[in-house]
Every structure is written in C-alpha cells, then in structure tokens.
Amino acid sequence: AQKITQTQPGMFVQEKEAVTLDCTYDTSDQSYGLFWYKQPSSGEMIFLIYQGSYDEQNATEGRYSLNFQKARKSANLVISASQLGDSAMYFCAMREWGGIGGATNKLIFGTGTLLAVQP
C-alpha cells in the first residue's frame, strides 16, 4: 500500500534562509504523482508544487522546488529565501493510481511538518 512519511514534526528556519522539508514515499506503482501542500492556521490546503513520476527534471514553482530522487523514493521540498508568511504546516502527498480509467484524485498524505520562520 502507498505510504507517505514525513519524519520532521517541526522545523525552525531564520528569515531569508533556505529550508528543506523531508518526504519519503512507498509505492509499487510505476506511475504516480507527488504533491506538497501548505496549510496555514486557517485550515485551507494550498497547493505548492507537483512532481510526476516520469518527469525527468525537478519541479520548481517560484521559491519552491522539489528535490525528486526516484531511486531513494524521496521528494523533499526546498523553500528558498524563507519569509515570515511561510510559517505553516506542510504536507507531502501522493496521488494513487486507480479509479476511473486509471485516473484518480485520491491523495495519501503524510503527517506533516510544522515550519516556523523566525525573524
């Protein structure tokens, strides 16, 4: 069964520094998608970045980049130049393959990492 593991319950980072949030995954599927979401205290899940299992290059979205190491089954999120507004819970998730015609939007989430950006 698919599983996402986030081993860092909490992280601290100084403003303007870079931080890496760890994520490892387990799946026997060849085709899958990996996501990172940000959840502020308000509760809404905000999509940050996506990496497909067949994508050859690491995904980047502004200050966010995903360090995808397929052989190690890791998909770490790197946030560059941290800002105070980056303080939030961060979840790594994997899309399970299945459902209608093989497509599904069922996401399996990790337990999250609470990031605190210090001034």
Partner 1 sequence: DAGVTQSPTHLIKTRGQQVTLRCSPKSGHDTVSWYQQALGQGPQFIFQYYEEEERQRGNFPDRFSGHQFPNYSSELNVNALLLGDSALYLCASSLASLAGLTYEQYFGPGTRLTVT
Min. distance of Cβ 111 from partner 1 in angstroms?
Answer: 5
The per-residue DSSP string of 70-107 comes to: TTTTEEEEEE-S--GGG-EEEEEEEEPP-SGGG----E
- Of 88 and 110, the one with the shorter C-beta distance to partner 1 is 110
Residue 61 Cβ vs partner 1, minimum distance, rounded to whole Å: 12
Cα–Cα dist 83/93, whole Å? 23
Q: Which is nearer to partner 1, 82 or 113 (CB)?
A: 113
Q: Taking the complex as a whole, how short is the minimal distance between the CB of residue 39 and partner 1, in angstroms? A: 9
Comparing CB distances to partner 1, the nearer of 23 and 117 is 23
Residues at the site binding partner 1, with contacts judged by CB under 8 A = 4, 31, 33, 35, 37, 42-47, 50, 52, 91, 93, 95, 97-112
Cα 14 to Cα 41, 60, 62, 79, distances in angstroms: 20, 22, 19, 12
- Smaller CB separation from partner 1, 69 or 98: 98
Taking the complex as a whole, how short is the minimal distance between the CB of residue 14 and partner 1, in angstroms? 26
DSSP 42-73: T---EEEEEEETT-SS--EETTEEEEEETTTT
